[in-house]
Amino acid sequence: MKALYLDCPSGISGDMLLAGLIDLGLDIADLERLFHQAGMDLNLRTEQDVRCGLAGKRLEIRSNVAQPLRRLPDILRLLDGLALAPDVERRARRAFERLAEVEAKVHGVDPSAIHFHEVGAVDTVVDVVGAFWGLHELGIATVYAGPLPWFRGQVRCAHGLLPLPAPAVVELLHGKPVFSTDHTVELITPTGALLVDQLVDEFRPGPQGTLHRCGIGLGTMELADQPNALRCLLHVPSSPADRAESPNAGTERTEEVVQFSTNIDHLTGEELGGCFEALFEVGALDVLFLPGMMKKNRPGGQLQVLCRPENAAAVQQAVFQQTLTLGVRRQRLERVVLARGETVAETPMGELPVKQAEMEDQRYERPEFEALQELAKRTGRSVAQLRYLLKPCNASDQQCAGKTLEEKDGLNEGDERGEEIILRIAPASAATDSGRR
């Protein structure tokens, strides 16, 4: 699975990130066509440019129509008119909702009263939508980033003269690693901070894995002593076994999470299902409903939600809003997480994304169900057949070679070790033979 590392020593803006994705190979004509089909009159153009000796791409967005001030409903209506994949649309909508919440908080008003001002301009819609759409088009599943530069000074905006970083940027950077600089210009724009907040899965010192390409997005400013550039490093993350070779690497880590729990006996199944989706959208790591009998002999259950500490406030609010419960139990927990990663397994039926984990020098691999579904569509087999073909023989690989499904089944007879979760790919001849039967 592909991953992206954002190297941000000079900060980040929406146009720099989108230019970096275009430098990685994203088709700018397809992106422009996406907006044209929705009736948006704009032109996208990239130019090769240089900043402090570093070459990269600079993005220009031009619109022939004056842009009005927009509120959140106006932005969401724009998104409704775009032909986006469901996940891309969902993430873009959540990003603008998040921005409205932040702007409302820092300016002390209700989110419905927020005018987006500069952020409502068409270029920011292009930057935000283009980032989510671009990651989807390039097949990037995970985004990492390095520390972000802290800067100072003042900036004039619709609210007047404000300190740098802008108040919305400061709010969006809560919980993110920063380092101090002497710069007195805006290195991180509100759009850039929003994309960091919504896109980055983990902050780390650098990419870890096999580097494929580097896309460089340039900003419009010239900095005195360094290139005003964002490096977008496309790579395939290393497997847990590769990471274990490092003397500092371990097979597990301990992290802090917050768990919310509340008893539910007043929601319908449809309402409860909607709660799950809403909770994941605000940052829940896991949502679980445990059925049982409640007070007054009512069927119900306990809703449990896990999240990271930095998302606790948003998740708690969502639990109250979505369930209308009268109380929530909250506790901080430690959880132990195995070293994990993702890779692509070569099978006789095509590539298959798998998750990897490592414990006590043993590597475990398991295909994603969605990946099995896609492979089932391509091959005409059922998911159950694919699971059987791709699970290991409990006998040696040599014994399995060339065996049909029935012959493999015979080799496994009498084995009582339980379900295997170590994935080894079945030999091509076995898959071919079984396909003819």
| Alpha carbons 96 and 76: distance in angstroms, whole number | 8
Instruction: Give the pLDDT of residue 103.
Output: 86
Q: For 140-168, what is each residue's pLDDT tens digit?
A: 989 999 999 999 998 777 667 889 999 99
| Alpha carbons 34 and 401: distance in angstroms, whole number | 49
Share of the chain above pLDDT 70, in %: 82
Mutual angle of helices 86-107 and 190-199, in 10-degree steps: 130
- Chain centre distance of CA 178: 21
Please report, to the nearest 10 degrees, the dihedral formed by the alpha carbons of residues 394, 397, 402, 404 taken in order. Answer: 10
| Alpha carbons 84 and 80: distance in angstroms, whole number | 9
| Alpha carbons 341 and 240: distance in angstroms, whole number | 6
49 bridge partner residues: 56
| Alpha carbons 122 and 96: distance in angstroms, whole number | 13
Q: For 176-185, what is each residue's pLDDT tens digit?
A: 999 999 999 9
| Alpha carbons 215 and 22: distance in angstroms, whole number | 7
Taken in order of first residue, the domains within the chain and their CATH numbers are 2-237 (no CATH), 252-337 (3.30.70.1380), 348-436 (no CATH)
Location of structure tokens 């520390």: 147
Strands 2-7, 140-145: pairing is: parallel
- Residue 423 scores a pLDDT above 50: no
Neighbouring residues of 363: CB distance < 8 A, sequence distance ≥ 6: 239, 240, 241, 356, 357, 422
List phi, psi (to 5°) of 7: -95, 110
Where is pLDDT greater, at 116 or 221?
Answer: 221
Among 186, 116, 165, 133, residue whose Cα is nearest residue 17: 133
- Residue 406 scores a pLDDT above 60: no
